[in-house]
Amino acid sequence: MLRNLVALGIRKLKSVIDKTSLIIAGTSILFLLLYIFFVAPHIAINFSPSINGHVFWIKRNTSSLSRGDYVLIKISPERNDPYIKNGYVGKRICCLSGETLERKDLAFYCEGELIAVAKTHSLSGKPLRPFDWTRGKIPEGHYFVCGDHPYSWDSRYYGFVSEKEIVAKEVKLF
């Protein structure tokens, strides 16, 4: 009799363990699918020292950009960029449409505030040509973007970025 009770208890315990395992597996798969379809497409991982931060949350709404916002930019092949061939880069908005951008020698100023200094040579020794600009308002629908690293490849060299090239706003997570 005791043997029968023990066997019955073991069968019941196995049944509970099987149901629990099934629930855990199903929940894990659900969370994995939620991550793949809803979280992962909104995460960007930065491997470049060009901007401070390693993980960014991507917000596709770019209707209200401000100075200091990080943005994800799609560099088009029409730019004929020597360093970026049809790729994405993350930069920080340093000067907005309608603001006054001025270049004095190698220094760039937005509304009179120093925002970036161009270099004459890259870290590898290649000569660099700063963006050809003296003083004026940034055209409507365009931005002057900067990296956080002094040798970042940004608007100091390739000029303004149009709002059509900005595909998302990036919010630094860490």
Give the other-Cβ count within 10 Å of 90's Cβ. 22
pLDDT, tens digit (0-9, with 9 covering 90-100), for 63-114: 889 999 999 999 877 777 777 766 889 999 999 999 999 999 999 999 999 9
Look at residues 10, 25, 42 and tell me which one is the last residue of a structural domain.
42
Question: Does the pTM exceed 0.85?
Answer: no
Look at residues 25, 42, 59 and tell me which one is the last residue of a structural domain.
42
Residues 25 and 107 both lie in one domain: no
Query: pLDDT higher for 63 or 120?
Result: 120
- Given this model, what pLDDT does residue 54 score? 83
Element holding 102 (H helix, E strand): strand 100-104
pLDDT, tens digit (0-9, with 9 covering 90-100), for 19-46: 777 677 677 777 666 666 665 568 778 8
Residues 103 and 155 both lie in one domain: yes
Q: How far apart, in whole angstroms, are the C-alpha atoms of residue 107 and residue 104?
A: 5
H and E: helices and strands count for the chain: 2, 11
Residues 57 and 94 both lie in one domain: yes
Q: Three-state SS for 115?
A: strand
- Given this model, what pLDDT does residue 150 score? 94
- In the predicted model, is pLDDT for residue 6 greater than 60? no
The answer for 19, left when phi > 0, alpha when psi is -120 to 50, beta otherwise, is: alpha
Distance of CA 102 to the CA centre of its chain: 27
Total domains present in the chain: 2
Residues 58 and 114 both lie in one domain: yes
Residues 98 and 139 both lie in one domain: yes
**Residue range(s) defining the domain that contains residue 132:** 46-172
- Given this model, what pLDDT does residue 17 score? 67
- In the predicted model, is pLDDT for residue 128 greater than 90? yes
CATH of the domain at 109: 2.10.109.10
Residues 52 and 15 both lie in one domain: no
